[in-house]
Each structure stands twice: as structure tokens, then as C-alpha cells.
Structure 1
Amino acid sequence: MTVEGPLATPEIGNCYGEAELARLPAAHPAVTADRIGVLLVNLGTPDAPTSRAVRRYLAEFLSDRRVVELPSLIWQPILRGIVLAVRPRKSAKAYREIWTSEGSPLAAITRRQAKALQASLGGDAVVAHAMRYGSSPIADGIDALLAAGCRRILVAPLYPQYCAATTASVSDAVQAHMARLRWQPALRILPPYHDDDRHLEALASSLGRAIGGLDFVPDTIVASFHGMPERTLHLGDPYHCMCLKTARRLGEVLGKTVVPSFQSRFGKAKWLTPATDMMLEALGREGRSVAVIAPGFAADCLETLEEIAIRGREQFLAAGGRHFAYIPCLNDSDVGMDMLTALVRSDLSGWL
């Protein structure tokens, strides 16, 4: 794991004044100035669009008890015996549809976001990035910031809406690594920003600019969020409510109706509705012109670029739809990075 900011150099730290530093024995480890670190975290991605790489990634991802809330004795035989025997090949094919010269779009965009955030923050903080699953694990990101002299760290899960399967899982991984550290840094975690005015205005600006460049005027704007089993709502997860609020508030900023839906259903359980695929098919049958935005994703990934922009488009047009446009995520766009920088600076208040 590398950090975007310069590495720490031996300087006077908070524990020592110049006189104390001068009296340190020659073999004493270098004393560094305390610094502030920011760790951007997203979900993760396979290392390659191959069945083997996808199987390794899915085995970790789907073994997280935050993601699949079934007893291990029940779920692991299903995962190992059925899911990992079938799904990796299908998912690898989907990844090949979107793979770039930089590798996985999610990994490439997250790297660019970290680099852009470092440029915006300058010397105020050191920025690193990590993934919850797969390569670039959270533990490595924390260790890299500690090695750079960071004694105060803001962990920023790039999930606008809180969900136990995403935000809480990041917190779990952070705390698990913290439990192994003898000298723990001060820690903050960026809260959800689903209804933050800066986020909504960035989404509206991005959407307006994209629609302005289309050769048609959409009569329907769909906000597609990642789906979750419906039982999570009844168990108290605020994700569903936050998604609906994002769509409603975004519509208010735009002065247009934004229709929420939920994608990526998996398994036989009842999931949050309405389902994006079913909605797109219904809108297609009505001959609509549609623009789809994914305001639950900070960076484009398999679920947006393949599931919506490719398969969703095909399904919509095959059903009779007139025009379809997928609007990219904020990614590392200027408006997106201005928003992210503002959020991070707000949560570094008192440290900067």
C-alpha cells in the first residue's frame, strides 16, 4: 500500500521538545512529527477478470457476516459448494466487458480519487486508499498512514448511504486492525452523506451537465441503488430510508421527479423494491426515454458499467424503450472531488 502524500521525515514530534530530542540515545527510533491521515475506502474488486480471481474475491466478500447474515454452518456449504462453483465464471465474463488498460474501473477510479484529494488537501493531510475486500486491504492502508507519521486518521467509507453490509463492515475491519495495534492513532469515520447539500448539488450538477449533452430529453430519471434483502429494513438498517431520501432530495434540487429503484438482486430472499431491471423493462414497454443515475456509488464499477449501462440498456431497448442514457458516477470529476474535499475537510475540523 502506498500513500499519496510524502513520507514522514525525522522531525520533532509532540512527545519531545528540542532539548529532549537532543538527549535521545543514538539507537532511538526516528521521532516524527504527528500528521493527519485520510483513508478512502471502497468495496473492492477482483485482481483480474478471470474465474480464479473472481472466485478468490467472492469467497472473501460473501464470507463477511455483514454481507450474508446466515449462520456459517448453513451458508458456507452453499457458498463453497454452489455459489463459488457457478458465479465466478459468469461474473468474470461481466468484468471482461468493462475491464480497462488501468485494470478494474473501481480500482483505477479510487486511485485517481485519492490522488486528486491529496492534491486538494496539500500538506494538510496524507491520503491513502484501501478496499474492504481483495487487494489493498484496510489494514495495509492504516499501516501505510502510520508509517507516514499519521497519528490522527479519518477513515472515509465511500458509501453515501449507511448500510451494515458496507459502512459497518468497513468499521469492523478498521477496529479489528486497531485491536492489533499497541499504539493506536486517534480515529474518526466519515458519516453517511446521503442528504448532505454538497453531495446533492454535486449530483445535480453532474446530472444536468450530462443530460445537456444528450441528443434527447429524458422523460424519466431513475436513481438506481444497490439492493439489499428486505429483512435488513425490518431489522433496523437505515439504508432503504436513506436511499429514498437521496432520490427525493435530488429531485427537489433538480426540480424534477427522480424515481428510486434497487438493483443487483441475489438469491431467493425478498429484496427491496422496486427492482431496477423490472422498472426498466416496464418503462421500455411504455416507450419512455430514460436517464439512469446511480447515487449510491461514489465510483463506477461492475454494478453500474455492466449491469446498468450494458445489460440495463439492452433490456430497456428490447422492451420497446426509445432512448436510454446511463449517467456516470461522480468518480474523480471536478465537481465530485470538490464535494469529497469539502466533506473531508469538515470532518477534519479541530484537527486541521
Structure 2
Amino acid sequence: MQTNQRKTGVLLVNLGTPDAPTVPAVKRYLRQFLTDPRVIDLPRWQWLPLLNLIILPKRVPRVAKLYQQIWQTAGSPLLAISRRQQSALQQRFQNENQNVVVELAMTYGNPSINAALQRLYQQQVEHIILLPLYPQYSSTTTASVLDAFHQALQQQRHILPFEMIFSYHDHPNYIAALSQSIQPYLQPDVHLLFSFHGIPQRYQQLGDYYAEHCQQTVDKVVANLALNANQWTMSYQSRFGKEPWLQPYTDETLTKLARQGVEKIAVICPGFAVDCLETLEEIAVENRDIFLAAGGKQYQYIPSLNDSEQQIELLYQLIKAKLQ
């Protein structure tokens, strides 16, 4: 393959993680996350006192304990897996003799988007491809990446040409990778649950088309696997606060399915490109207990695509399509 002459910098961006599973580190991380107006859009005068005086003191110790349960020798699972993603993708471009540099960043925490952008400038790239690792677009995630990227650009006198991949919810490689990861779990008596991170219903009413992307992803995977309507369910997890979020809720759905006689279930979280607290603890542990307590007999969590060959090929194809 011919070398891509223009040196391109790829910036992979995920949500983020605390630097350590400690109360101070988790507090720093959650404060940065929950003060993003894209995530919580309440007036600052109303939200910040509530956050600092009530929510953080209450949530931080509990969340720190949850991180301690999933923390690995290599550190945060999300960061460790993301590093492997970055390395594998860089190797893929080198194997194809492509003039591409891959950097990793997090919207919140480290490595920051600002630091990663500076590394790309130091390596004298001529063009940047920004790839938020959110298959389904949402203003709460994808748009936050763009906000942080623009903020980082404000420190640069020379603005490089850049492109952003806004979503890949229906990309053939993505649908194929999800389908392949689900296949080993498919049995006649196993129900499949697609669980996506939720957002407030109000955000959808204001124009966020995240739910449409989630539905389109599920529809394509279901069609690809030739599943019947009674073989699968779709739900939303991780709701926060008192206002209504996208429904049905995952925990309530698991209870309902168990009480309806579903004994075996496999859960996949297609919106998470990398396993993290919301999958490794909330889905694999907490919601497993909910299903079994409601009468379920067998609960399996299907891992995220992580740094699998299928995931790396997907990311490679997404970026390759932008190279000139």
C-alpha cells in the first residue's frame, strides 16, 4: 500500500477515569465530569451548591469503593484497555505503511485532550482526525469531546485542519463486530438484553438524537443475527437524579423479565467501546444480583469490543475513510 504522504494525527477520545480508586482522585474526576454543562445543564447557581454540598460528599466514598473493586494491576480498566487499543491501532497503520500517529485522550481526567493535542503538534502532524469512542452520538458525550477539543485549540496559534467522526452506530464493521461478540452467547433459551447508557428524556426532546442511534444499532444487529422479537429486549442504564431518563430502565427490565419467566439472560452494552465501571460493576455485578434476586437462574455479561481484532479493524476503517 502507498504511504499516506500527509502526516495525520488521530485522537481517540473516551470519557475518562479517576487517576486512582481513592476518595480524593474520584472527587476530582466526578467534579470535572458533573460540572460539564453538556452533562448537567441546570443553571450553575442552582447546580454547583447542590453538587458540592450534597451530591459529591454522598457519592464520592461509594463510587471510590466501586472503583476499588474493578481496579487492576495496570490501573483503571478503561485506561489500560484504551492504551492497548491505541497501541494496536498504531501498529495497524504502521503495518499498512500509513503516515499516521495515534494519541489517546479522555474528556475528563488524564490523559487530557489538551495534553494529547500538544503531543500531536509536537509530532508535526498536518491534519487531525478526532474520533470520540461513542458509537451513538449524544450531546452529553460526543459534543463534550468537541467542546474540549475547541478549548484546547484556543492555546494554539496555528490551527490544523481537522475532521471529526460524529458517530458510527450503523457502520457495517461495527454491526458485524457486535454480532460476532454476541454469537457465542446465543442459545434457544437465552434472552438477549441490549443495555445503553441513558440520558434525560428532556435532552431528547431538545433535539439529541442519541435514542434513535441506539435503536438503529439494535435493529441492524437483530436483523444481522436473524433474532425474533421475543428473543431480545432493549433498555437504558445508569440514570442519575430525579427527572425521567430514557426508558425502559435496565434494572427494572431485568426484574420484569425474571418475573415473566426468563431464566437465562445475556447482556451487552453496545454503547461502550471499552469496559469500565458502568459495565464491569453496574452491569456485570449489580444488575446480575438484581436479575438473580428476581428469580433468574443464569446471567452473562458480554464484554465490550475493547481491543479485539474486530474493534481495531473497525477503528482502522473509520479513520482510513478520512485519509487522503
Q: Counterpart amino acid of 1:294?
A: C
Partner-residue secondary structure (3-state), 1:43: strand
Q: Counterpart amino acid of 2:296?
A: G
| Equivalent position to 2:42, from 66, 70, 75 | 70
Q: Counterpart amino acid of 2:82?
A: T
**1:255 paired residue number:** 226
**Cα contact 1:286–1:320 (8 A) shared by 2:** no
**1:146 paired residue number:** 121
State the shift of 1:217 in Å: 5.1
Alignment of 1:323 onto 2:294: no
**1:240 paired residue number:** 211
Deviations 1:308-346 (A, max 9, x none): 000111110111002110000000011111111111111
Q: In structure 1, what is the Cα distance between the partners aligned to 2:150 and 2:219?
A: 34
Change (3 A) 1:293 1:51: same
Q: In structure 2, what is the Cα distance between the partners aligned to 1:198 and 1:346?
A: 13
State the shift of 1:347 in Å: 2.2
Percent identity of equivalent pairs = 45
**1:290 paired residue number:** 265
State the shift of 1:191 in Å: 2.3
State the shift of 1:185 in Å: 1.1
Q: In structure 2, what is the Cα distance between the partners aligned to 1:70 and 1:283?
A: 35
Q: In structure 1, what is the Cα distance between the partners aligned to 2:233 and 2:274?
A: 21
**1:20 paired residue number:** none
How many corresponding residue pairs? 313
**1:174 paired residue number:** 149
* Equivalent residue runs for 1:196-345 within 5 Å: 196-209=171-184, 211=185, 218-256=189-227, 257=229, 258-288=232-262, 289-345=264-320
Structure 2 unaligned regions, length at least 5:
none
**2:73 paired residue number:** 101
* Equivalent residue runs for 1:85-100 within 5 Å: 85-100=57-72
Q: Counterpart amino acid of 2:141?
A: T
Q: Counterpart amino acid of 1:227?
A: G
**TM-score for both structures, normalised by structure 2:** 0.94
Alignment of 1:111 onto 2:83: yes
Q: Counterpart amino acid of 1:82?
A: I
Q: Counterpart amino acid of 1:271?
A: W
Q: In structure 1, what is the Cα distance between the partners aligned to 2:208 and 2:14?
A: 19
Q: Whose Rg is larger?
A: 1
More relative contact order, 1 or 2 (CA 8 Å, 6+ apart): 2
**1:84 paired residue number:** 56
Q: CA RMSD in A?
A: 1.3
Partner-residue secondary structure (3-state), 1:40: strand
State the shift of 1:180 in Å: 2.2
Q: Counterpart amino acid of 2:38?
A: R
Q: In structure 1, what is the Cα distance between the partners aligned to 2:138 and 2:314?
A: 21
State the shift of 1:134 in Å: 0.6
**Cα contact 1:59–1:84 (8 A) shared by 2:** yes
